[in-house]
Chains A and B, each alone.
Chain A
Amino acid sequence: DAKTTQPPSMDCAEGRAANLPCNHSTISGNEYVYWYRQIHSQGPQYIIHGLKNNETNEMASLIITEDRKSSTLILPHATLRDTAVYYCIVRVKGSGGSNYKLTFGKGTLLTVNP
Chain B
Amino acid sequence: EAQVTQNPRYLITVTGKKLTVTCSQNMNHEYMSWYRQDPGLGLRQIYYSMNVEVTDKGDVPEGYKVSRKEKRNFPLILESPSPNQTSLYFCASSLEGSYNSPLHFGNGTRLTVT
Q: Which residues of A contact B (CB under 8 A)?
A: 30-32, 34, 41-46, 49, 51, 91, 93-94, 96, 98-106
The B contact surface, by secondary structure, is strand
- Interface size, B (range): 20 to 34
In the complex, what's the smallest C-beta–C-beta distance from A51 to chain B, in angstroms?
Answer: 7
B81 surroundings in chain A (CB, below 8 A):
none
How far, in whole Å, are A7 and B90 apart by their CA atoms in the complex?
25
Q: What total of A-B pairs shows CB separation below 8 Å?
A: 67
Q: Is the CB of B50 within 8 A of A98?
A: yes
Q: Which residues of B contact A (CB under 8 A)?
A: 4, 31, 33, 37, 42-43, 45, 48, 50, 56-59, 88, 90, 92, 94, 97-108, 110
Q: Is the CB of B48 within 8 A of A44?
A: no
Q: Is the CB of B31 within 8 A of A100?
A: yes
Q: Which residue of A lies closest to B57 (CB)?
A: A96
A44 surroundings in chain B (CB, below 8 A):
43, 90, 105
Q: Is the CB of B108 within 8 A of A43?
A: yes
Q: Is the CB of A51 within 8 A of B43?
A: no
A100 touching B98 in the complex, CB below 8 Å, given contacts A41-B88, A106-B42: yes
A43 touching B97 in the complex, CB below 8 Å, given contacts A101-B33, A105-B42: no
